[in-house]
Amino acid sequence: MVQDADELFMKEAIRLARKAQGKTGPNPCVGAVLVKNGKIVGRGYHKAAGTPHAEINAIKDAGGEAKGATLYVTLEPCNHFGKTPPCTHAIVNAGIGRVVIGMRDPNPVAGGGKEYLESRGIAVTSGICERDCRKLNQPFIKWVTTGKPYVIVKIALTLDGKIATRTGHSRWVTNSTSRFTVHRLRSEVDAVLVGIGTVLADGPRLTARLGRKSRQPVRVILDSHLRFPIESPTLSVEKGGPLWIYCGRSVDRNRKLELETRGVRVVQVQDQAAGVKLGEVLQDLGKHSLQSLLVEGGSGVFRSFFSENLVDEVWLFYATKLIGDDEAVPGIPGWRECFFMDDAVRLYDINVKIMSPKEENETTDVLIKGRLRKELY
């Protein structure tokens, strides 16, 4: 019975944490509830970096009812002085009797909360709904443990796997509902990446356009030979995130300087046959506390990320239409040999959603989301 109650209240904490997903970086999203005599007396979640943590908000919401209550929190309470004081101290001072933790904090700087609370005589239970709590913060956990961002590949394609016609025409493969969903995803990730081919063909803005003030991701371009045109619409975008270009080590210095004087961050990394070395790109993004990366194309970039085993998650938007042309642009050109179906790459934690059209001439789309790793970070 206690286990069932713990899971019930932890699920409420998880629900609260989701309210701020994509808004708390570089901090994780965290939810918390305070329970007394079987009833929730306080709720809270971490809203943004630098603001009070979930536990503090829940304690404030509970007021005097916090004394003797049980705290349910999705992530182990922090035990260090950062932008805010340690949550462990506030928990002790509030007189909380028991703490239930979804998952331990993987950050060695902030961890140790469980041991501190136990040393102050507070009973602590951990590992309740742990898998669901870990799902909340996959980008944060990967970044803390590897120093690299969590990589999401988004592809809009037809049922026969094409992303554009033989002439390169791709507007629009999917419907406006799908495109709005992509803008919302952009507002939740730290960076959006495309190759120079996409820039030259489409001049994409790479912004989150949601009809209101949106959080804008860093815009990343892979351009090994630094062909990025100064007159590109991508550069002249207003209210977009910073523009970063990753190029090879032997590019023209004057061209690099010209772009830098326009506010572009140009980073030189090692070259390889298929372009710049993606491992170095991810390492540099991680050094700047970018925890999540959305890869949006084109097909050569998709192939490189898949072939180097760098993809963590995919969002595949399938439009219910067929191009039927062998010369049309494939979503993911062949990137591995596969002789038996048992060797095919599988997706895990699958989520399927019908994206209904808003306009009469639009098709119905199907969004398939899944992770490429069976185990969570």
The CATH number covering residue 329 comes to: 3.40.430.10
Q: Tell whether 331 is covered by a domain.
A: yes
Q: What is the CA radius of gyration of the chain?
A: 23
Q: What value does the mean pLDDT take over residues 319-327?
A: 96
**By CB neighbour count within 10 A (0-12 exposed, 13-18 middle, 19+ buried), where does 338 fall?**
exposed
Q: What value does the mean pLDDT take over residues 305-318?
A: 97
Q: Which residues contact 78 (CB under 8 A, 6 or more apart)?
A: 53, 86, 87, 88, 105, 110, 113
Residue 193 is encoded by which pair of tokens?
Answer: 């990446």
Pairing of strands 275-276, 271-272: antiparallel
**pLDDT value of residue 121:** 96
Domain shared by 118 and 31, yes or no:
yes
- With contact defined as beta carbons under 8 Å apart, do 173 and 158 qualify? yes
Domain shared by 154 and 264, yes or no:
yes
**pLDDT value of residue 274:** 76
First to last CA, the chain: 30
Residue 309 confidence (pLDDT) above 90: yes
- With contact defined as beta carbons under 8 Å apart, do 65 and 36 qualify? yes
Domain shared by 128 and 163, yes or no:
no
Domain shared by 192 and 69, yes or no:
no
Domain shared by 135 and 25, yes or no:
yes
CATH of the domain at 9: 3.40.140.10
Task: Determine the Cα–Cα distance for residues 362 and 358; give it in Å rounded to an integer.
Answer: 7
**19 or 273: which leads in pLDDT:** 19
Residue at a domain's end among 76, 111, 140: 140
Q: What value does the mean pLDDT take over residues 312-318?
A: 98
Per-chain mean pLDDT for the chain: 94
- The DSSP output letter for 342 is G
**pLDDT value of residue 85:** 86
- Three-state DSSP at 127 gives coil
Residue 15 confidence (pLDDT) above 70: yes
Domain shared by 153 and 116, yes or no:
no
**pLDDT value of residue 1:** 55
Domain shared by 135 and 155, yes or no:
no
289: enclosing H helix or E strand? none
Domain shared by 187 and 126, yes or no:
no
Domain that holds residue 23: 5-140
**pLDDT value of residue 273:** 79
Pairing of strands 162-164, 329-330: antiparallel
Q: Tell whether 169 is covered by a domain.
A: yes
**pLDDT value of residue 2:** 67
Q: Tell whether 44 is covered by a domain.
A: yes
Residue 82 confidence (pLDDT) above 80: no
Domain shared by 229 and 214, yes or no:
yes
Residue 303 confidence (pLDDT) above 90: yes
Cα separation values, 23 from 43, 292, 377, Å: 18, 12, 20
Residues with a known catalytic role: 55
Domain shared by 323 and 192, yes or no:
yes
The binding site comprises 53, 78, 87, 156, 170, 172, 186, 198, 202, 206, 209, 224, 296, 298-304
**pLDDT tens per residue across span 262-293:** 999 999 999 887 789 999 999 999 999 999 99
- The DSSP output letter for 216 is P
**pLDDT value of residue 271:** 87
**pLDDT value of residue 210:** 86
Q: Which of 234-238, 284-288, 315-319 has the lowest mean pLDDT?
A: 234-238
**pLDDT value of residue 83:** 76
The binding site for substrate comprises 170, 186, 206, 209, 296
Q: Tell whether 21 is covered by a domain.
A: yes
**pLDDT value of residue 84:** 78
**74 or 170: which leads in pLDDT:** 74
| Cis peptide bond prior to 298, omega within 30° of 0 | yes
**168 HSE (CA, 13 A, CB side):** 8
- Three-state DSSP at 329 gives strand
